[in-house]
Amino acid sequence: MMNEELEQFENRLRRQSLRPIPAEWRAKIIAGAMSRVSKVESRGQKDFRLSTLVSRLSTVFWPHPKAWAGLAAIWIFIFILNFSMRDKTSVIAEKVSPPSPDVMVQLKLQQRMLAELIGANDLIDAERQKIFLPRPRSERVEILAA
């Protein structure tokens, strides 16, 4: 009796029809599945191309690996040498402070003496006018009066 009741209940449940799958899903789901597969395949082709390139490079480099390694080492040495020998004068010039006025005067005097020795008088006159010797104010007044 109990089992019969249970069976009836089961049968009633079984008779309840399920919601049908929307018809428009079929095309979309199948297309979606196939497109994902084609993407995976194209990625696989890219990987294949990369591996082909690697294998070709290895066929070129593999016969004499020591020679290629030596060549690479030479290039690295040249690069390091070039880097260490780079002209540093501009860097030094930036770091050095401008010469003091006294040093400038000394340089000008040396220049003039050199010019006198080689006989370039015109140059001396022109240079003389340009030379500015910083002096005490009292001496400047004397110069102006003279």
37 is a contact residue toward another protein (CB under 8 A): yes
At 136, is the secondary structure helix, strand, or coil? Answer: coil
Half-sphere exposure of 78 (CA within 13 A, CB side): 6
- CA atoms of 95 and 109, how far apart (whole Å): 26
Please enumerate in sequence order all residues whose Cβ is within 8 A of that of 79, keeping only pairs 6 or more positions apart, or say none.
Answer: none
Whole-number Å distance between alpha carbons of 83 and 109 = 40
Q: Which is nearer to another protein, 2 or 143 (CB)?
A: 2
* Contact positions with another protein (CB under 8 A) in 2-31: 6, 9-10, 12-14, 16-22, 25-26, 29-30
Decide whether 20 or 119 has the Cβ nearer to another protein: 20
Q: Does 34 bind another protein (CB under 8 A)?
A: yes
Interacting residue ranges for another protein, rule: CB under 8 A: 6, 9-10, 12-14, 16-22, 25-26, 29-30, 32-34, 36-37, 40
